[in-house]
Amino acid sequence: MRLKRSGAGSGVGTGPGFGSGAGSRALALSWRAAPLDTTLELATTVAMGLIPAAGAWTGKLLFDELARGRAMDPGRASWLVVIGALLTCSQVALTQLNGQLARRVQRAVALRAQDLLYRSVNAFPGIGYFEDPAFQDRLRLAEQGAQTAPHDINILLTETARNGVIITGFLGTLLAVWPPMALVLLVTAVPAAVAQRALAARRARTTEETMESQRRRFFFQQLLTDATMAKEVRLFGLGDLFHGRLLAAARQSADADLAVEGHGSRVQTALSLLSATVAAGGTVVVVRGVAAGHVSLGDLTLFTSAVLGVQGALATIIGQAAQAGKTLRLFRSFLEVVHAGPDLVGGSAPVGPLREGIVFEDVWFRYHAGAPWALRGVSVTIPAGRSVGLVGLNGAGKSTLVKLLCRFYEPERGRILWDGIDVRELSIVDLRRRIGATFQDFCRYDVTAAENIGVGDVTRLDDRAAIRQAAAAAGIDATLAGLRDGYDTLLSRIFFDADRERGLALSGGQWQRVAVARSLVRRDADLLILDEPSSGLDAEAEHEIHRALAEHRRGRTSLLISHRLSALRDADVIVVLEQGRVAEQGTHEELLGTDSQYARLFAIQAAGYRDTPTMAGTSVAPAMPVTPVGSAR
Ligand SMILES: Nc1ncnc2c1ncn2[C@@H]1O[C@H](COP(=O)(O)OP(=O)(O)OP(=O)(O)O)[C@@H](O)[C@H]1O
């Protein structure tokens, strides 16, 4: 999936897009982040630019005074020395002040850029962008570009101003001593500018090209250090394998960096040689003038200072322009992400309480163009106030259907109707407020037990009674209340709590109950979705949670996915998905009474329970009472 274009000028990649306006946007970002500090930084930089020329003139006057021998005025010479010292002190003070201002501007810009970037990322309604490797690369580049480009453009401007002042000051000197030198210096700046620009573009390309290997390196780094991965990595002896892959990824980007920097040093060496040759040539001419007696020693020192000053100033401007060009290229990624626009379009109509039901009407969906269809013309009704069970083999499309219902993706064809209104017309935020859900791959947050449940409805984050009620319905209240600090216990293996105590860890099944409680804390949700809510629970707990959930779901609209078919038998209607299509639907009894896929699966599970021998040679009782194949309850 590619970033969508959001109107003129927001193209992705190399098109006209943000190319021309990126610099001004970077500057605007800096200006808005810290207007006063940005102005002061510019002012101090310009002031710093005046000092070298003033220092050189003071030096020239001092030399000329000293060259007068016995006719020298000691008072004047002393004053020139004092002025020179004062200029040096001012330069030091201004440099410090300027550095501090630059740091303040950079910090403000970085914060503002992060704010804009993550505000935009957070505003994407769907999840498609996050599953796109190209988007992930662009996001990392955007982070880099946003942090560095405004600062680099600022520096380019201030350095151009400062060095412009230096060049202007020294060009006058050169014109006075040997005019052709001014032209020679300006002409030799052209190849330097071209070479630096090409080098910067090459550096930017390398950064873009190595982004994937850097993400890969980060991924293996995570695998090697993450607490949840440590078990498998150790048991399967994956450490060396992942370590090797980490090194390969690190080597790949390091090699690319090294190659571009090697090229960079060759270019810099050639440019330095060119500068040195030009400076030496000019100085020879002026030395001859000193020998011939029409140039003073003071003029010679002034000339050499001016040549070095102009060359240094030009090199700084060119180098900074190239650096800014590089980071501006990355900054375009920032602009692309910030202006990407929503990955799916939501409407503005408010969402009322569910009165009739939800209808999937011939819905087709695939994860991206070229991927196989995950849903192929699904038509299903979830009547209001009723419970629907969703069954199917792995990969049948059950979770995909749930994700479309939550508006994480857009169907490619067909419609989903909420009380007869196409969900595309409805406000996505409103719609989601009406849904409580436990996903198969639910989150485990490194926060307190209470917050782990409260985040299901942030308006109830501090409502301990509501949180405990949800926990009780999910059968986890007593466990959480009994923790070291009760509901205030930090559930984490990687953070300390406020008392510098290590957080506590829950078991897999306990985490699952917490996740269920999180969906139940939205007491007023119109639709409750439970995708495999009991897969990690022991038999007793599973029975208990399904009983509690059945109670909670009574009279509410719910969609329950489970591979344990016994958990679905109470559903008002059971829908069987097969390879993205609705293969069967009906009540538990209706489906068992036919030669259905459901009846076949149910028979397999029931037989599994009946035939499992125990240590004592008896049979294991099913976790839920199961109905024999073909019989009605
Ligand atoms: N994020 C994704 N990107 C690409 N393809 C996906 C993604 N998620 C699922 N799929 C594919 O879509 C199809 C349906 O997957 P889905 O997760 O909906 O199945 P399911 O019925 O929920 O399976 P299970 O019982 O294993 O949970 C599968 O072929 C799967 O490979």
Query: The domain spanning residue 108 has which CATH number?
Result: 1.20.1560.10
Ligand 1 centroid–CA 409 distance in Å is 13
Q: Cα(450)–Cα(473) distance, rounded to whole angstroms?
A: 15
pLDDT at 82 over 80: yes
* Count of all residues that appear for the chain in the document: 633
Q: Whose CA is nearest to atom 6 of ligand 1?
A: 367
Q: Check whether residue 411 and residue 317 sit in a common domain.
A: no
Q: Whose CA is nearest to atom 19 of ligand 1?
A: 395
Q: Which residue has the higher pLDDT, 302 or 546?
A: 302
Q: Check whether residue 444 and residue 332 sit in a common domain.
A: no
Q: Check whether residue 217 and residue 266 sit in a common domain.
A: yes
Q: Cα(23)–Cα(29) distance, rounded to whole angstroms?
A: 10
| Structure confidence at residue 611 (pLDDT) | 57
- Quickly list DSSP for 546-589: HHHHHHHHTTSEEEEE-S-GGGGTTSSEEEEEETTEEEEEE-HH
| Structure confidence at residue 20 (pLDDT) | 55
| Structure confidence at residue 13 (pLDDT) | 37
**Model confidence over 281-291: pLDDT tens digits?**
989 988 998 89
Q: Check whether residue 362 and residue 328 sit in a common domain.
A: no
| Structure confidence at residue 5 (pLDDT) | 35
Q: How would residue 619 be classed by pLDDT, with cut points 50, 70 and 90?
A: very low
Ligand 1 centroid–CA 397 distance in Å is 6
**DSSP 8-state secondary structure symbol assigned to residue 129:** G
pLDDT at 70 over 70: yes
Ligand 1 centroid–CA 459 distance in Å is 32
**Model confidence over 386-427: pLDDT tens digits?**
999 999 989 999 999 999 999 999 999 999 999 999 999 999
Residue 531 pairs in a beta bridge with 561
Q: Whose CA is nearest to atom 29 of ligand 1?
A: 395
Q: Which residue has the higher pLDDT, 186 or 451?
A: 451
Share of the chain above pLDDT 90, in %: 42
- Structural domains of the chain, count: 2
Region 268-280: what's the mean pLDDT?
A: 91
Please list every protein residue whose CB sits less than 6 Å from any atom of ligand 1. 131, 367, 371, 374, 392, 394-400, 440
Ligand 1, atom nearest to 368 Cα: 4
Ligand 1 centroid–CA 374 distance in Å is 7
Q: How would residue 329 be classed by pLDDT, with cut points 50, 70 and 90?
A: confident
Q: Which of 279, 306, 338 is the last residue of a domain?
A: 338
| Structure confidence at residue 504 (pLDDT) | 82
pLDDT at 195 over 60: yes
Q: Check whether residue 409 and residue 549 sit in a common domain.
A: yes
Ligand 1 centroid–CA 396 distance in Å is 7
Q: How would residue 610 be classed by pLDDT, with cut points 50, 70 and 90?
A: low
Q: Check whether residue 75 and residue 145 sit in a common domain.
A: yes
Q: Check whether residue 319 and residue 365 sit in a common domain.
A: no
Q: Check whether residue 516 and residue 405 sit in a common domain.
A: yes
Q: Check whether residue 321 and residue 361 sit in a common domain.
A: no
Structure-block tokens of residue 24: 């001004």
Ligand 1: which of 394, 399, 408 to mutate, judged by most atoms within 8 Å of the beta carbon? Answer: 399
Ligand 1 centroid–CA 375 distance in Å is 10
Q: Check whether residue 247 and residue 118 sit in a common domain.
A: yes
pLDDT at 169 over 50: yes
- Residue 496's contacts (CB-CB under 8 Å, 6 or more residues apart) are 490, 502, 503
- Residue 473's contacts (CB-CB under 8 Å, 6 or more residues apart) are 516, 517, 520, 548, 549, 551, 552
Region 133-140: what's the mean pLDDT?
A: 89
Three-state DSSP class for residue 225: helix
| Structure confidence at residue 57 (pLDDT) | 84
Structure-block tokens of residue 117: 């970037």
Q: Check whether residue 317 and residue 181 sit in a common domain.
A: yes
Q: Cα(605)–Cα(608) distance, rounded to whole angstroms?
A: 5
Q: Cα(34)–Cα(107) distance, rounded to whole angstroms?
A: 9
Q: How would residue 618 be classed by pLDDT, with cut points 50, 70 and 90?
A: very low
- The CA-atom distances, in angstroms, between 515 and each of 104, 225, 316, 498, 529 are 43, 25, 57, 24, 12
Span of 7-11, 305-309, 396-400 with lowest mean pLDDT: 7-11
Q: Whose CA is nearest to atom 31 of ligand 1?
A: 395
Ligand 1 centroid–CA 506 distance in Å is 28
Ligand 1 centroid–CA 424 distance in Å is 23
User: Do the beta carbons of residue 450 and residue 489 sit within 8 Å?
Assistant: no
User: Do the beta carbons of residue 87 and residue 51 sit within 8 Å?
Assistant: yes
- Domain residues for the domain of 127 are 22-338
Complex ipTM:
0.98
Q: Which residue has the higher pLDDT, 584 or 152?
A: 584
Region 122-146: what's the mean pLDDT?
A: 89
Region 500-504: what's the mean pLDDT?
A: 79
Ligand 1: which of 400, 530, 535, 578 to mutate, judged by most atoms within 8 Å of the beta carbon? Answer: 400
